[in-house]
Structure 1
Amino acid sequence: ERGISQVAQKIADKTKQLGRKAVEIWKRIKAWYLAKEAPILERRFKELLKEGKSYDDVKAQWNSILWSGWWSLPSGFKRFLRKYDEFLRENKRFDLAK
């Protein structure tokens, strides 16, 4: 009886250890992706700001493209809009923000 519980405990510990490693790897991948994505987004946001595009203009433009059958905005674009709104607020362009 004692031997079985020790084996089960070792299996549980090993599973937890693998889970922690997977989470750590995922965090590294996410950090790498966000570091690569940031300059690309910032460059695009600066272009949109130079054109004088507001949050609503960008959203409306995308909605018109999606009119071909999508029910709502895809999550990636929702994130893009959220980041653009943050960018506008950081640059004190509250007139263009959401």
Structure 2
Amino acid sequence: MSIQHDGKGHVIIGEAALSLALGEKAISVRSLIAELGHMAQAGGSDKRLAEISEARSWLKSLHEPEQAVRRVPYLRTLADLNDEKN
């Protein structure tokens, strides 16, 4: 699965973002990586764990969180929502 070309990667990241938002936690690249780690620890099917792993790897490959927000528009939307909350 390629995160950039497969909507499933976006769904996993969206699930992590929703979990953070519902917990009234800041949403950032780093917090998404951490939340995905918690999701992986909770377990699931091999397919789900593989999707989580690939999403975490992809997020970690973005060296600068600010760069990630520019390259991935929905991360900008999440950051904007976080800013509005504060």
Structure with the higher helix share, 1 or 2: 1
Q: Which has the larger radius of gyration?
A: 1
Taking structure 2 as the reference length, what is the TM-score of the superposition?
0.34
Taking structure 1 as the reference length, what is the TM-score of the superposition?
0.32
